[in-house]
Structure 1
C-alpha cells in the first residue's frame, strides 16, 4: 500500500444543482485540492453499486486520486445532495439519508493504512458521525497518532451538541466558518467578538489551531496563542461549493511545507477564492494561480496582532 501522508475520511456524493450534477462531498473536495498541491492523499469513503458511484470512481481516477480505499455497497445508493445558492451567495443543501457513505466500515485495509508511520494528518467532518456505522469507523481512526483535523460542517438535523463536543475534544486543528463559530461558542456564554469565541473553544477543548473562514471578508486564525488575519480576495463568484474545503487543503499544504501561519492563511484564502470563482467544488486550475493572487495582493504581510 502507498505510504500516504494524509487521509481524508468521509462522504463522497453528487451535488445536484438546478442546472447540473457535480461530484462533491467535503472529503472528496479536500482530497482533490490536496492532490493538486502534490500531497500523497487517500480518500476513504463508500459508494453504491450504481451508475452514480461508478461515475465518481471514473472521475477520481481521471484526476489522479487514489481509489483503493473506496468501499462498495450493495444495499445503499451513492450519496446525493440537492444544492442551491441563496441571495446572499450562500449554499443551501438537502442531504439524502441514509446512503452508502453512512456505512463506511472498518476493515483490514483501513487498519493497515492507519498504522502507516508516514501518516501526518487525518481529515474528517462532523457529518461522518450522523450514522453509527461510519461513526464507529471514525472512532477507530481517531486512535491513529496522526494530527486530527476537524472540518465542522453543520447541516441540520445531522448534529447534536453532545456529538460536536466529542468531535471537538478529538481534534488538533479545527476549521469552521463564522456562522458555525458563533453557533457553537454561544452555547457556552455571551461573547462580543469572534476572538472571544475562538479563545473559548481553544481553551475549553484544548485546540491549538483554529482557522475560520469569513466568506468574502477573508479568514482569521488562532495558532499557538496568536491571532492572524487575511482580507478577502476579490473574485467574481461562480458558486461557493467547495471553497471552504479548498481553503483547508491550502492551509494544510502550506503548513506541511513549513510556511508561517500568516502565509499559510494567505495561501488558503487565495485557493478558496480561486475555487469560488469557478463552478463546482473540484474545478481545474493551475496552482501557480494561487501564488499569483497572493503576490498581487501582498496578502502574506497581513499578520496577527
Structure 2
C-alpha cells in the first residue's frame, strides 16, 4: 500500500480561546490529520524563536508530526489567533499581523519535499503577505507531480479576488464551505444555486474536483465524471476547530487511493464529525476511520 506524502503549506498558530489555547492553523491540522488517517503529513511553515514556537514544535513532535520543514524566525513572533466559540460550538477568528508565518521562505529541504509530494494543501490566509505568497507559489511550482488542493479558508479581510483567482489557477482541487461560496459567488458573479456555482468554478478553472462543505447539511463533491451529495453526520459538537481540515485530509487520501466520490465523501464526513465531537483540532483518530 502506498504511503502518500501530503504537505500542509502555510500558517501554524495558536488558537487562543477564552479559557485555554490550542495549537492549530489549517496546514498543521491537515498534516496531523493525514498522519492520523494513515498517510505521511508534513507541515511547511514558520514559527517564532520564542516560547510559543518551541511549545508548538514540542507538541507536533509528540504527536508524531515531522517538523524538519518548519523554519524558526529570530525576528517575528509565533502566530496567534483569538478564536471565539459561540453557543453552537462554531469558531470565528481574529488574526494579528506580522507574525512568523507571514515571512515564510523556501529552502532546499522544503523544495525537496515539494518534489516528492503526492499532495499539497494550501489556503488563502498564508498568502496575506507578499513574502509568504511568493513562498507558497514557489513551493507549488516545485511540486510538479502533486495533487494541489486549495482549501480556500477565507478569514477576516485577508483575501482578494486576485489571490483567489491565482490560487484557483494553481489548483487541481477546490474545497470551500457554504459561507465562503456565498462570498466567492458574489465576487465572481456565479449562479445563485450552490451546485451550479460550484460547477462553474470547476469548469472555469479546469479543476479535477470541487468540494462544498455545508456543516450539518452535508457535503457536495463534483468531478469531471460525477457528483456526490451526502447529508451530514449527526454529532454532539464540542467545537468545529479543525473539522474542515480533517475533512480535507480524508478527502485527499481517499482521492489518491482511487476511491469513488461517495466513498470519499462518506469517510471525510465521518472524520469531520468525529473531530467536531472532540476538543481542539488534533484528537487521536479511531482505528476504524483510518484510510491507509
Quote the offset at 1:258 in angstroms: 2.3
**Cα pair 1:4 1:42 within 8 Å, conserved:** no
TM-fit CA distance, 1:223: 1.4
After TM superposition, which residue ranges in structure 1, 4 or more long, deviate above 6 angstroms? none
Query: What residue number does 1:50 align with?
Result: 50
Kept after mapping to 2: 8 A contact 1:270/1:290:
no
Distance 2:130 2:280 in 1: 30
Once the two structures are superposed, the pairs formed by residues 50-69 of structure 1 within 5 Å of their partners are 50-69=50-69
Give the whole-Å Cα distance in 1 for the aligned partners of 2:211 and 2:287. Answer: 22
2:222 aligned with 1:222, yes or no?
A: yes
CA contact (8 A) 2:227 2:261 kept: no
Partner deviation per Cα, 1:253-304 (whole Å, 9 max, x = no partner): 212222211100100001001000011111123131579xxxxxxxxxxxxx
Give distance in 2, aligned partners of 1:190 and 1:134. Answer: 29
| Residue matched to 1:121 | 119
Distance 1:263 1:69, change over 3 A: same
User: How big is the alpha-carbon RMSD for the aligned residues of Structure 1 and Structure 2?
Assistant: 1.6
State how 1:157-172 maps to structure 2 within 5 Å.
157-172=157-172
Output the CA distance in 2 between the equivalents of 1:43 and 1:109: 12
| 3-state secondary structure, aligned to 1:114 | helix
Please, which runs of 5 or more residues in structure 1 have no aligned partner?
A: 292-305
Residue in structure 1 matched with residue 193 of structure 2 by the alignment: 193
* 2:88/2:237 contact within 8 Å kept: no
Aligned equivalents of 1:229, 1:48: Cα separation in 2:
42
Residue in structure 2 matched with residue 294 of structure 1 by the alignment: none
Q: 2:38–2:290: 8 Å Cα contact kept in structure 1?
A: no
What does residue range 22-33 of structure 1 map to in structure 2 within 5 Å?
22-33=22-33
Which residue does the alignment assign to 2:74? 74
> Which deviates more, 136-145 or 282-291?
282-291
Counterpart of 1:303 in structure 2 is none
- 1:1-305 to structure 2, matched below 5 A, reads 5-87=5-87, 89-116=89-116, 119-143=117-141, 144-145=143-144, 146-189=146-189, 191-288=191-288
The offset of 1:225, in angstroms, is 4.3
Q: CA deviation at 1:115?
A: 2.6
CA distance in 1, matches of 2:276, 2:53: 25
Any idea what SS the aligned residue of 1:284 has? coil
Deviations 1:33-77 (A, max 9, x none): 100112122110110011111111111111110011110011111
8 Å Cα contact 1:267-1:290 kept in structure 2: no
Contact 1:102 1:131 in 2 (8 A): yes
Query: Distance between the aligned counterparts of 2:205 and 2:285, measured in 1?
Result: 37
CA drift at 1:249: 0.5
Q: CA deviation at 1:90?
A: 2.6
CA distance in 2 between partners of 1:103 and 1:190 (Å): 34
Partners of 1:169 and 1:59 lie apart in 2 by 35
CA contact (8 A) 2:114 2:140 kept: no
The 10-residue stretch of structure 1 (87-96 or 244-253) with the greater mean CA deviation from structure 2? 87-96
Contact 1:127 1:158 in 2 (8 A): yes
Q: Which runs of no fewer than 5 residues in structure 2 stay unpaired? A: none
1:300 matched residue in structure 2 = none
Is 1:208–1:225's contact at 8 Å kept on the other side of the alignment?
no
State the alpha-carbon separation in 2 of the partners of residues 23 and 34 from structure 1.
Answer: 16
